[in-house]
Structure 1
Amino acid sequence: MADSTQSEKISSSHGGDGFVDASAGQKAPSPDKDSKSTPQAASIVRELIYWRDVKMSGTVFGVTLLLLLSLAAFSVVSVLSYLLLALLVVTISFRVFKSVVQAVQKSDEGHPFRAYMEKDISLSSESFSRYLDTGLKHGNCVLKQLSRLFLVEDLVDSLKLAVFMWLMTYVGAVFNGITLLIIAHILVFSIPVVYEKYKTPIDRYVGIVHNQVKSVVSKVQAKVPGLSKRKPE
């Protein structure tokens, strides 16, 4: 009886709704804006490389390709100097133009870049610490894998790395670093679209090649002593 009387009082005090909002009076936790930055950045990159917005992807592709071609022809210092100089010429010209227009029209619009100058572009200590922790985590993983490969924890994986490095010596003899970056840049903006369009036949042929390579590797491991991988304990 006491419990029913207490529930009736609570129900009447809340307008007879018959329930109590347990979260009433508690402030909902505000979403962390920084925690959403990484998924948003990944989504933006995905939209660019899959050409969801043709104009935006074309602009980014053209500008970055032009920058890489400039780095292939000139030094990094020259490219950065000319790039910053061009940016300054554009902003100074626009600033002078708006000042002349305001003087002729006798208007008081103020600085043309005021809206951009008032934006807070500072990096908070929490964001910097989080990015630093993420970078250290990935760096430690890379160091662990390198130590595992170069200290020959698994002979097969170390041999694969040796073969890959041997092939890269031939690639390096033909192409320099900037040329490889240009090729990689073109592939990044072309392969995802082609794969999305021809996904089924590509997966079929890749599966055939993967099975053949796996069969050859298993035969080599069976015939050569010491190449079989250790079974996990």
Structure 2
Amino acid sequence: MVRKNRYQQYSEPLPERGPVESLIYWRDPKKSGPVFGGVLLVLLALTYFSLISVVAYLSLLGLTGTISFRIYKNIVQAVQKTGDGHPFKDLLEFDVSLPQEKVKEVSEVAVAHINAAVVELRRLFLVEDLVDSIKFGVLLWTLTYLGAWFNGMTLIIIAWVALFSLPKVYETNKTQIDANLEIVRTKLAEITSKVKAAIPIGKKAEEKKDQ
């Protein structure tokens, strides 16, 4: 009965947390599509051209577009004898400065994550828990194969596509995915417990913690 209620809770839609989540979950395809396609296009361009070339060409393309639009609006205003003014007046008056409180908040969150990562890496590299360090070693060993198969830019492109696809797939099939993940977590917990019980070092570490 408890399991059923939990799955019913999983079937509820995910709460909205902000514009980023709205983009990732494709709440408005007219916004998510251009963001996903635009960034993907830039990432694909970076696989064939240098960063400087991509930035220069994109900037030149944008500048050409704004200059052309400005000249076009000036011609229209001269022919129609209207006083609409600068076509980008609203954008020029828009405040693009970063709020100090938001920057401070983001910096504090980033520092907290960095500190937590440093502590965790120290724990893994200095083998505080043998089983965790072995699992970390297996992960690093897997990454060596990923590095041999894909370069960094390819992995970034895959991550970007996954960011805009996996969350939506998870939201749509939340109940089934959570049920399968629960089975996998239970199996991993059982295997980890058996490995720790079979390793003398793990037993000593647990005895010290109990004392």
State the TM bucket, normalised to the shorter chain.
0.7 to 0.9
Matching residue of 2:56: 81
Distance 1:196 1:123, change over 3 A: closer
Determine which of 205, 208, 220 is the counterpart of 2:195: 220
In proportion to residue count, which structure has more helix? 2
Gapped regions of structure 2 (runs ≥ 5): 1-15
CA distance in 2, matches of 1:176, 1:232: 46
Following superposition of structure 1 onto structure 2, how do residues 22-101 of structure 1 map, counting pairs within 5 Å? 42-101=17-76
What's 1:169 paired with? 144
User: Deviation at 1:232?
Assistant: 6.4
Higher RCO (CA 8 Å, separation ≥ 6 residues): 2
Mapped partners of 1:222, 1:154: distance in 2: 13
Verify the 8 A CA contact 2:123 2:129 in the aligned structure 1.
yes
TM-score using structure 2 length: 0.83
**CA RMSD of superposed structures (Å):** 2.0
How many residues align structurally? Answer: 193
**Contact conserved, 2:131 with 2:192, CA < 8 A, in 1?**
no
Q: Residues of 2 paired with 1:78 and 1:103: CA distance?
A: 37
TM-score by length of 1: 0.76
Unmatched runs of 5 consecutive residues or more in structure 1: 1-40
Tell me the CA shift for residue 160 of structure 1.
1.5
* Pairing partner for 1:150 from 116, 121, 125: 125
Report the Cα distance in structure 2 between the residues aligned to 1:197 and 1:70, rounded to whole angstroms. Answer: 32
Q: Counterpart of 1:111 in 2: which secondary structure?
A: coil
| Runs of 4+ with >6 A deviation | none
Separation (CA, whole Å) in 2 of partners of 1:115 and 1:189 = 31
Of the two, which has the highest radius of gyration? 1
Render the CA deviation track for 1:109-148: whole Å, top value 9, x for unaligned.
2111111111222234444333333332222222222222
% identical equivalent positions: 49
Deviations 1:26-73, CA, capped at 9 Å, x for gaps: xxxxxxxxxxxxxxx951111111111122112211111111111112
CA distance in 1, matches of 2:26, 2:101: 33
Q: Distance in 2 between matches of 1:95 and 1:144?
A: 54
User: Which of 128, 139, 154 is the aligned partner of 2:114?
Assistant: 139
Determine the C-alpha separation between the residues in 2 that align with 1:134 and 1:187. 24
In the alignment, what sits opposite 1:11?
A: none
